[in-house]
Amino acid sequence: MAFDDPIIWVLIVVAVVLLFGAGKIPQLAKSLGQARREFDNASKGIANVSVQAPAQPTPSKSPAEIDPLVTAAKNEGIDTQGKTKEQIAAELAWKLNRK
């Protein structure tokens, strides 16, 4: 019994269908293909690099300006300089409850 016998391959296919079910076989084949492509690329030393447009320089923002709490407070007209997040949150909650 060798693997070049077609009956062996039919038995293997039947066993796979019984084990995984007909719905899982396409997902299994897709994941095997992706794994093989990743392995081939890694063995060649090629990394998946997506082509992107050159990054536009953005003005640097301090972490306080990126924080949604600070942004919401500034939108409500609350001065955030020199205040902790807890103080900003309390003042924002007070202002929003007053509306």
67: left (phi over 0), alpha (psi -120 to 50) or beta: beta
User: What confidence score (pLDDT) does residue 58 get?
Assistant: 57
- What's the pLDDT tens digit per position in 61-87? 665 557 888 888 888 888 888 888 889
Label residue 23 by pLDDT band (50, 70, 90). confident
In whole angstroms, give the CA distance from residue 79 to residue 92.
10
Q: Cα Rg for the chain, rounded, in angstroms?
A: 29
pTM of the complete model: 0.36
Instruction: In whole angstroms, give the CA distance from residue 63 to residue 91.
Output: 20
Cβ atoms 85, 93 nearer than 8 A: no
Q: Is the pLDDT of residue 54 over 70?
A: no
